[in-house]
Amino acid sequence: MQYLPNILFVAALMAGIGFFIRNVKKLARNIKLGKKVDVTDNTSIRWRNMFKIALGQTKMVVRPISGLLHIIVYLGFIIINIEVLEIIIDGILGTHRVFSPLGSAYNFLIASFEIFALLVIIAVIIFWVRRNLIRLGRFIKPEMKGWPKTDANWILYIELILMVLFLTMNGADYQLQQMDATHYTKAGAFPISQFLAPFFNGMSIPSLILVERSAWWLHILGILFFLNYLYYSKHLHILLAFPNTYFGKLGPKGKFNNLESVTREVRLMMDPSADPYTATPEAENGEEVSKFGASDVKDLTWVQLLNAYTCTECGRCTNECPANQTGKKLSPRKIMMDTRDRLEEVGNNLDINKGIFKDDGKQLLDDYITREELWACTSCNACVEACPVSIDPLSIIMDMRQYLVMEQSAAPSELNNMMGNIENNGAPWPFNQMDRLNWAKEN
Amino acid sequence: MESELKVPTMAELSAAGQQPEVLFWVGCAGSFDDRAKRITKAFVKILNRAKVSFAVLGTEESCSGDPAKRAGNEFLFQMQAVSNIEVLNAYEIKKVVTACPHCFNTMRNEYPDLGGKYEVMHHTQFLGQLVEEGKITLEGGKFKGKRITYHDPCYLGRANNVYEAPRDLIKKLDAELVEMKNCKKKGLCCGAGGAQMFKEPERGDKDVNIERTEQALETKPDIIAAACPFCNTMMTDGIKNKEKEAIITVQDIAELIANAEEL
C-alpha cells in the first residue's frame, strides 16, 4: 500500500500525457488538411525570427503595458516549469524535494519561483481587470462574445489557482520544516509563502501535511488538466507561437504570391507556339486540378491553418485595422477565429466518419466569413504588422477574394468595371491607351 | 517660368540607338488622373532640371496589374504583368522609377517571379539619391517654418519598409515635420488600397480617409505631404470634407520639391 501514491501519480501522469498526445495528433492531422507549401528556405532567418519574436517577445512590447505583463506571465510559465520537473520526479519516486541537495542553488531556485508566482498572480489580476472591468475595446468586439470570453477568463482563473496552490504548498511545507516534521527536509527559501504563516497558525502536523499534500496534488493535477485544456482554447499559442513565427512570412509584406497554376495558363495563352492540346502538368502528375483561391479551409495552406490555431485572440490586428476602426464588419481576428472554428468542424466530421470527410454543405466562405468582410479590406498590412506571433490574416482574405473573382465571378460590380477597363484599355478607368502620354503636352 | 517638359519615350530613344539610365514608370493615375498628372509633371521637371537620362513608355505602358491582383483577379494581373514584362525586357530596361507605390510594390516584388527583374525605385528614393549626388540642391526657403505632416502610403511603408526617404526630403526643405499619432509602421491607411479606390466602401461609421484626415488635422499642418497618387486623392477628399482646403493643401513630395525649386 505504501506505493499507492506513486501508482496513482504515474497513472494520472500517463493519462494526462496520453490525452495530450492524442490532442496533438488531432491538431497535426487538421493542420495537414491544408495545401502543401514549401517553407524549407532561409532556415537561418526563420530560426532568428523564432528566437526574436516568440522567445524574445519583441513584438509584444510594442504595446508596453500588456507587453510587460505578458513577459512576466511568460517567464513565470517557463521558469516554474523547472519546479514541475521536480514535482514529477518526486511523484514517481515518492521522494520529497529531490533537488534539495543542490543547496544554496536550490534555495535560489525556489525563491525565484515564489517571486515569479506572486508576479504572475498580480499580472493575471491586472489582465482580468482589463478584460472585465476596464473592458478595453479590443476585448469586447462582437466576435468575443460567448466561448472566447469565457475561455479568456478561464485561462486567467486556472493560472491564478495554480499559482495560489503552488504558494500554499510551499507555505505549508515551510511550516512543517520549522516544526521538524519527518520527511520534510529543511530546504528551499520561501520569500513569499512564509507570509502565509498566519493561515497555518495553530495547525497540527497532520493537518499541515494534509494541506501541503492537497495543494501539491491539486497543483500537478491542475497542470495536467491545463495541458489538455490547450487544444480547446486560444491558449494553444504557448506552444504554437514557436513554429508559427518560424514558418511566418518572409520578405516584404507587400509581396503577394503569384499563383503558379495561373502562370502556366497565362504562358500558354501568350506563347503562340504552344500546343494547347498537350497534356497540362497537373494531368501528368495525376493531381486533381485545383480551384483558384479558397472557399474552405482545405484550400488554404497548412501554414495558414497553423496561423489559425496559433491565434490567441488578443485583437491587436483588429485594433489596427482601418476597416474595423471605421465600423466595417471586417475584423482580422474574426477571420482567424472563423478559420479555426471551421477547421475544428471539419476535424470533428473526420472523427465521426472514421477519417472520411462527409459533405456537410458548409464552407468557410458565407457560412463563417461573409463577402462583406472580405471586400472591406484595404490590404494595408496593419493586421500583419500588429500580430505578435506572425499571423497573416491578409493572405486568407486575398485567397478568398481570388475564389470569389476567379471561380464565382462575384466581384462587386464597380470592381468588375475596373477590371473590364484594365482588360480593354490597360487602365482601371475608361481612358484610351493611346492617350497615355497626353499629360506631357498639356499645360 | 513654365518651360516645356522634355519627355522622351523608349520608342524614340530606341530608334535613335540610345538607352536611358532609368525608365520612369508613370502609372495609370499619373497618366490619366488630373490631380496625379500634376505630380507626374512636377517629377519630370525635377528630372529635366537634374539632367537625368530617362524615358517613359508612353502609349506602350499599361496597368501594372496591382488593382486586379488585390481584387482577387490573379489571371488579369498576370496577363498585365507578363505583357508589361515583355515590353520592358524588349527595351532591356534595368532600372525603373515610379511615383506610384502600388506600381512600385508590384514591379519590385511580384514581377521578378514572372521574369521581370529590375531595380525598382520609388520616386522619393530616387529624389533622395539626386540630392545626395548633388544633382539637385534643395533650398528650403519657401517652406521654412511650415508644418508638414507626412502620410505613409501602406505600399511604400509597411509593405516595403520605406519610411525615411520621403521624410529626409521633407526635412531638407527646412520644414517642420510633424508626425501623426499613427505613423511609420503603425501608419493608418488612406482607404484606397486593395482596390478600394475603385469601389464604394462597405457600410460602417465613417470612411477611412476621414479618419486619417482627422489624424492629420490633429497635427495642425500647413501641408499634408503624400507619396502616392491614391493617398493624395483620398486625403484631398478628406480635407474638402472638413472644409479646410483653403488653408491646408495636400501635395506630393515631388511637388514640394518642384515648388521649392520654383520649377
Per-residue pLDDT tens digits for A278-333 = 655 554 454 556 799 999 999 999 999 999 999 999 999 999 999 999 999 999 99
Q: Do B161 and A252 touch (CB under 8 A)?
A: yes
State the Cα–Cα distance between residues B43 and B258, nearest whole angstrom: 7
Torsion B210-B234-A63-B177 (CA) sign = negative
Q: Which of A411, A423, A434 has the CB atom closest to B72's CB atom?
A: A411
B191: left (phi over 0), alpha (psi -120 to 50) or beta: left
Calculate how close chain A gets to B141, using CA atoms only, in Å.
26
State the Cα–Cα distance between residues A366 and A215, nearest whole angstrom: 49
**pLDDT band with cut points at 50, 70 and 90 for residue A424:** very high
Q: Are residues A132 and A9 in the same domain?
A: yes
Q: Are residues A82 and A229 in the same domain?
A: yes
Q: Are residues A344 and A392 in the same domain?
A: yes
Q: Model confidence over A113-139: pLDDT tens digits?
A: 999 999 999 999 999 999 999 999 999
Please report which helix (H) or strand (E) contains residue A242, including its range: helix A237-247
State the Cα–Cα distance between residues B46 and B87, nearest whole angstrom: 26
Q: Which residues of B touch A412 (CB under 8 A)?
A: 199
- Mean pLDDT, residues A105-109: 95
State residue A286's pLDDT score: 46
- Mean pLDDT, residues A398-405: 98
Paired residues of A273 in beta bridges: none
- Give the residue numbers spanning the domain of A378: 260-434
State residue A171's pLDDT score: 96
Q: Which of B83, B192, B211 has the CB atom closest to A325's CB atom?
A: B211
Q: Which residue has the cell 519583441?
A: A58
Q: Are residues A14 and A160 in the same domain?
A: yes
Torsion A420-A422-A428-A431 (CA) sign = negative
Q: What is the CA B82 to chain-centroid distance, rounded?
A: 23
Q: Model confidence over B9-24: pLDDT tens digits?
A: 999 999 999 999 999 9
Calculate how close chain B gets to A383, using CA atoms only, in Å.
10
Counting residues of chain A whose pLDDT is more than 90, the rounded percentage is 89
Q: Do A415 and B161 touch (CB under 8 A)?
A: no
Q: Model confidence over B215-233: pLDDT tens digits?
A: 999 999 999 999 999 999 9
Kindly state whether residue A303 falls inside one of the protein's structural domains.
Answer: yes
State residue B248's pLDDT score: 97
State the Cα–Cα distance between residues A422 and A416, nearest whole angstrom: 10
Q: Model confidence over A207-234: pLDDT tens digits?
A: 999 999 999 999 999 999 999 999 999 9
> pLDDT at residue A271 above 80?
no
Q: Are residues A140 and A21 in the same domain?
A: yes
> pLDDT at residue B142 above 90?
no
> pLDDT at residue A68 above 90?
yes
Question: What is the tally of structural domains in chain A?
Answer: 2
Nine-digit cell string for B146: 511650415
Which CATH number goes with the domain that contains A307?
A: 1.10.1060
State residue A398's pLDDT score: 98
The answer to whether residues A397 and A374 touch, using CB atoms and an 8 Å cutoff, is yes
Q: What single-letter DSSP state applies at residue A142?
A: G
Kindly state whether residue A407 falls inside one of the protein's structural domains.
Answer: yes
Q: Which residues of A touch B110 (CB under 8 A)?
A: 255-256, 258
State residue A278's pLDDT score: 60
**pLDDT band with cut points at 50, 70 and 90 for residue A277:** low
The answer to whether residues B157 and B230 touch, using CB atoms and an 8 Å cutoff, is no
**What does residue A280 show for φ and ψ, rounded to 5 degrees?**
-75, 155
Question: Given the DSSP bridges, would you call strands B95-98 and B119-122 parallel, antiparallel or unpaired?
Answer: parallel
Topology at the third CATH level for domain B10-129: Rossmann fold (3.40.50)
Size of interface A-B (CB pairs under 8 A): 219
The answer to whether residues A100 and A106 touch, using CB atoms and an 8 Å cutoff, is yes
CB within 8 Å of B238: residues ≥ 6 apart: B209, B210, B212, B213, B214, B216
In terms of CA atoms, which chain A residue is nearest residue B40? A439
Q: Are residues A277 and A232 in the same domain?
A: no
Q: Do A398 and B72 touch (CB under 8 A)?
A: yes
Q: Do A414 and B69 touch (CB under 8 A)?
A: no
Please report which helix (H) or strand (E) contains residue A79, including its range: helix A64-93
Cβ count near B145 (within 10 Å):
9
* Inter-axis angle of helices A332-352 and A302-310, nearest 10: 110
**What does residue A145 show for φ and ψ, rounded to 5 degrees?**
-70, 150
Please give the full DSSP string across B76-127, using - where no structure is assigned. Answer: HHHHHHHHHHHHHHHTT--EEEES-HHHHHIIIIISGGGT---EEEEHHHHH
Q: Find the distance separating the first CA and the last CA of chain B, reported in whole Å.
A: 7
> pLDDT at residue A443 above 80?
no
Torsion A212-A218-A221-A226 (CA) sign = negative
Helix, strand or coil, per DSSP, at residue B20: coil
Nine-digit cell string for B160: 516595403
- Mean pLDDT, residues B87-111: 98
Calculate how close chain B gets to A64, using CA atoms only, in Å.
15
The answer to whether residues B37 and B31 touch, using CB atoms and an 8 Å cutoff, is yes
A256: left (phi over 0), alpha (psi -120 to 50) or beta: beta
Q: Which of B61, B86, B208 has the CB atom closest to A326's CB atom?
A: B208
Calculate how close chain B gets to A338, using CA atoms only, in Å.
20
Q: Which of B59, B160, B197 has the CB atom closest to A254's CB atom?
A: B160
Q: Are residues A203 and A328 in the same domain?
A: no
Q: Do A252 and B159 touch (CB under 8 A)?
A: yes
CB within 8 Å of A224: residues ≥ 6 apart: A12, A13, A15, A16, A17
**pLDDT band with cut points at 50, 70 and 90 for residue B1:** very low
Kindly state whether residue A353 falls inside one of the protein's structural domains.
Answer: yes
Q: Are residues A197 and A342 in the same domain?
A: no
Calculate how close chain B gets to A437, using CA atoms only, in Å.
5
CATH number of B137-260: 3.40.50
Q: Do B188 and A292 touch (CB under 8 A)?
A: no
Q: Which residues of B touch A269 (CB under 8 A)?
A: 79
> pLDDT at residue B188 above 60?
yes
State residue A11's pLDDT score: 97
Q: Find the distance separating the first CA and the last CA of chain A, reported in whole Å.
A: 101
- Mean pLDDT, residues B56-72: 98
Q: Are residues A187 and A321 in the same domain?
A: no
Q: Which residues of A touch B79 (CB under 8 A)?
A: 266, 269-270, 423
Q: Are residues A73 and A115 in the same domain?
A: yes
Please give the full DSSP string across B206-263, using - where no structure is assigned. Answer: S-HHHHHHHHHHHT--SEEEESSHHHHHHHHHHHHHTT-TTT-EEEEHHHHHHHHTT-
The answer to whether residues A68 and A260 touch, using CB atoms and an 8 Å cutoff, is no
Which of B232, B253, B231 minimizes the C-alpha distance to B173? B253
Kindly state whether residue A124 falls inside one of the protein's structural domains.
Answer: yes
Q: Model confidence over A238-251: pLDDT tens digits?
A: 999 999 999 999 99
Kindly state whether residue A51 falls inside one of the protein's structural domains.
Answer: no
Q: Are residues A185 and A284 in the same domain?
A: no
In terms of CA atoms, which chain A residue is nearest residue B152? A380
Interface mutation target, options B25, B31, B182, B184, chain A, most CBs of A under 10 Å? B31
Indicate if B137-260 has the same CATH topology as B10-129: yes
The answer to whether residues A32 and A80 touch, using CB atoms and an 8 Å cutoff, is no
Q: Are residues A73 and A114 in the same domain?
A: yes
Q: Do A405 and B202 touch (CB under 8 A)?
A: no
Residue A412 CA: distances (Å) to CA of A408, B166, B195: 12, 35, 11
Q: Model confidence over A36-66: pLDDT tens digits?
A: 999 999 999 999 999 999 999 999 999 999 9
State residue A437's pLDDT score: 97
Interface mutation target, options A380, A385, A431, chain B, most CBs of B under 10 Å? A380
Mean model confidence pLDDT for chain A:
94
Nine-digit cell string for A405: 473573382
Lowest mean pLDDT among A91-95, A417-421, B26-30: A91-95
- The residues spanned by each domain of chain B are 10-129, 137-260
Q: Model confidence over B228-259: pLDDT tens digits?
A: 999 999 999 999 999 999 999 999 999 999 99
Q: Model confidence over B196-209: pLDDT tens digits?
A: 999 999 999 999 99
Query: What predicted TM-score, i.e. pTM, was given to this entire model?
Result: 0.95
Kindly state whether residue A274 falls inside one of the protein's structural domains.
Answer: yes
